[in-house]
Amino acid sequence: MKLDELRPAPGAKKPRKRIGRGPGSGHGKTATRGHKGQKARAGGGKGGGFEGGQMPLYRRLPKRGFRPHGGKTVYEIVNLKSLGTLPAGSVIDPESLAKMGLVRKSASARVKILGQGDVTSSLTVKAHAVSESARAKIEARGGRVELLGAAVVSGS
């Protein structure tokens, strides 16, 4: 057998049914839609979710929840106990946290520092949000807290 002798199996290829192309085609006049009725009309048929006149499911179920425009701000969480062993004078920012494997590396990831645990040295922490307890513990050790991005309120 050669490539130019390859053919589909007999009956595998059927010509498509051309409806509404005159009486000679055998599918003219009503174009296989039958006579009158909802399904014979242009745009006819039942809509999605129609249940024969029964109250459809999407109207029987209660509406729940609300999401304001823009959605919820999601933070990558880092506790102070994860930063406790770092040397004095270290600068902690989202890039360094990603290198340490404490947060996922993503351009959209926002980082929040929480106050669980303790720090043993003075650190400069740059994050999108910092809890009040974390800020107090960092500054008590002589460290600094800098907020990144748009005006983010600490403790949020």
Query: Any idea where the domains of the chain sit in the sequence?
Result: 75-147
pLDDT level of residue 60 (50, 70, 90 thresholds): very high
49: left (phi over 0), alpha (psi -120 to 50) or beta: left
pLDDT level of residue 57 (50, 70, 90 thresholds): very high
Evaluate if pTM is beyond 0.85.
no
What's the rounded mean pLDDT across residues 47-65?
93
CATH C-level class of 75-147:
alpha beta
pLDDT tens track for 90-144: 898 888 888 888 888 876 679 999 999 888 888 899 999 999 999 999 999 899 9
The average confidence (pLDDT) of the chain is: 88
Look at residue 79 and tell me whether its pLDDT is greater than 80.
yes
CA angle 101/105/108 to nearest 5° reads 140
Task: Write down the pLDDT at residue 147.
Answer: 92
